[in-house]
Chain A
Amino acid sequence: MGELWIIITASIVALNAAILGCFLLLRKMAMVGDAISHAVLPGIVVAYYLSGDKTSGLLLLGATLTGVLASFAIDFLSRKAKIQGDASIGITYTFLFAVGMIMISTMMNGNTDIDMECVLYGDISLINLDKIVVDGNLYLGPRAFYIEVIALVIIGFSIGFGFKGFKVLSFNEDYAKALGINTNRWHYALMTLVSLTTVFSFEVVGAVLVVGFLIIPPATAQLFSTKLKQMLFWASVFGILAVIIGYYLAVWMNVSITGAMVTVAGIDFFLVLIIQRLVDRKKRSTTFAAPEFITPTPKNSVE
């Protein structure tokens, strides 16, 4: 039963990350996801210090806010201070991450519940230790599962409801602005959701590997998707697939579970890439074989 809870919880992490990752990827902001996931560290530490509880609502909210702040800082540096985009990302997140490191070593000295390892890599095999039990004996599953379900509901609702907004923002931001849409509001809504995903799942997969779930499955899906909804669907499938295969691989080889999951996601990506290339080549060779010069069909004909 414990095994199943781990797989289900991790699957929801993968699902959340895949959905948001699609929009990050299409907006060419994959690295912003990386930055946010690191920048939440001081937020996690401060909130933990204040509440003394790894899973309290305060902690999650406080840390989510830090992520949003980081994306504010990145935008400020690149738009107002005219620092180039990747540099402003680098400045912001390493700075915040370093502050978080110092905070952990000073404020959390001797605390066994939260340390760098836990924040960075999570500990998926231990999620079953923190259970939700009702009436003393009715076991409802690990707490992490419920946290992820809350995140899924928030993300599913936001993306489902604001699908058109996120779509036009991702394809053509200037055009959205020209239509009178407040693109800033949509941008920060997306950043808040990304921040929320990283924070809500840091305990499960850690702040670093969640980036793998944010980027790799959507990138795999983008290789062959022709519709946005199709991309969202396949990104989710690849994410969950990586979780399931990765889990059993890790158990079999006795290695890190999250590590194995992201590794599988990476292997999936390269497999799809190779298959796609082969299919493309086959298509091309059959086109060349057709006697084009006998029946000329101009490709760019205008009706």
Chain B
Amino acid sequence: MREACAIEVHNLTTTYGGAPVLWDIDFELPAGHIIGIIGPNGSGKTTLLKTIMGLLPASSGYVKIFDKDLEQIRHKISYVPQRESVDWDFPASVFDIVMMGRYRKNNLFKRTNKTDLEIVLQSIEKVGLTKYKDRQIAQLSGGQQQRVFIARALAQKADIYLMDEPFVGVDAATEHSILKLLKEMRDLGKTVLIIHHDLQTVSDYFDYLVLLNTRLIAKGTPQEVLTEENLTNAYGGQLTLLAKVANLIKVNQFPIREKDVDL
């Protein structure tokens, strides 16, 4: 049996000021997996996520989610923007921000109800921030702020999660606990799409990969995607990177992690 398709991107092109940021991207992503989007800086990873989410207009092509148009199924998708994209000095507590996950187009004028409250408290509990729920978000560490965003996404009770670099500025322990949470979500049948930049960890984290550099370079299981050819295609002739790529392939063939390789 063929796996259900969660996200279908068809011949998608997105431009910024005339120059294409994404060019003719075409893929189908299976449901119930943790999927990584990787590629060099400026390769259109964030643009791809924003276009899927309808935040940027596509110049051509379309996106279907579970075979439906975005507007029909928006409530099933949860978006986690980059942590740096907001001002954390905003006067609000952890609870206030996670509560935003319960906001909908048609309940903005209503009071929040008991179910909302329960879901929000559960979501905060899941990311381990119950102790800090009344703390102002400025007084949290980077990792805690990231977990606030994840709790907010959880509170949406979605089926698909689109996360933009959730592991940036997060310490190793938090990264581990976030990953555990994502795996639990996957086991419940949720689809998680994550933009990731750390090539060292991709094969451990993801079941499925999309390698991007304006065009789609490769997609599939980590073994299929992380070949020397694909990575050179994506990262080009950047000398320092070639060494990293070679190292990565080694890591991929022999699952021994060398965390301290830093280029």
Contact check: which of A172, A181, A302 meets B105 at CB < 8 Å? A181
**Chain A residues closer than 8 Å to B96, beta-carbon distance:** 167, 227-228
Q: How many residues of B contact A (CB 8 A)?
A: 40
Residue B131 at the A interface, CB < 8 A?
A: yes
Given the interface pairs A82-B17, A171-B86, the reply to whether A180 lies near B92 with Cβ below 8 Å is: no
Q: Mark B78-122, 1 if CB is under 8 A from A, else 0.
A: 110100011101111100110010011100110000000000000
CB B74 to nearest CB in A, in angstroms, measures 5
Interface-centre pick from A162, A167, A170, A179 (highest chain B CB count, 10 A): A179
**Chain A residues closer than 8 Å to B91, beta-carbon distance:** 26, 222, 225-228, 230-231
Task: Please state if A179 and B103 are interface contacts (CB–CB under 8 Å).
Answer: yes
Give chain A's interface residue range (CB within 8 Å of chain B): 20 to 34
Q: Mark B120-156, 1 if CB is under 8 A from A, else 0.
A: 0000000010010000100001011000000010001
Residue A252 at the B interface, CB < 8 A?
A: no
CB A21 to nearest CB in B, in angstroms, measures 14
User: Considering the chains assembled together, what is the distance between the CA atoms of A161 and B177 in angstroms?
Assistant: 39
Given the interface pairs A300-B171, A302-B173, the reply to whether A180 lies near B71 with Cβ below 8 Å is: yes
Interface-centre pick from B54, B85, B108 (highest chain A CB count, 10 A): B108
Residue B174 at the A interface, CB < 8 A?
A: yes
Given the interface pairs A82-B17, A175-B79, the reply to whether A303 lies near B141 with Cβ below 8 Å is: no
User: Considering the chains assembled together, what is the distance between the CA atoms of A172 and B103 in angstroms?
Assistant: 12
Task: Please state if B85 and A162 are interface contacts (CB–CB under 8 Å).
Answer: no
205-264 of chain A: CB within 8 A of chain B: 222, 225-228, 230-231
139-153 of chain A: CB within 8 A of chain B: none
Residue A284 at the B interface, CB < 8 A?
A: no
Residue B55 at the A interface, CB < 8 A?
A: yes
User: Considering the chains assembled together, what is the distance between the CA atoms of A74 and B235 in angstroms?
Assistant: 39
Residue B250 at the A interface, CB < 8 A?
A: no
Interface-centre pick from B90, B128, B173, B177 (highest chain A CB count, 10 A): B90
Task: Please state if B93 and A172 are interface contacts (CB–CB under 8 Å).
Answer: no
CB B154 to nearest CB in A, in angstroms, measures 14
**Chain A residues closer than 8 Å to B128, beta-carbon distance:** 302-303
A residues sitting closer than 8 Å to B (CB atoms) are 26, 28, 82, 161-162, 164-165, 167-168, 170-172, 174-182, 222, 225-228, 230-231, 299-300, 302-303
- 16 additional A-B residue pairs with CB within 8 Å, beyond A174-B55, A177-B55: A161-B109, A162-B109, A164-B103, A165-B109, A171-B86, A171-B90, A171-B97, A172-B86, A172-B100, A180-B71, A180-B75, A180-B105, A299-B141, A300-B144, A302-B173, A303-B128
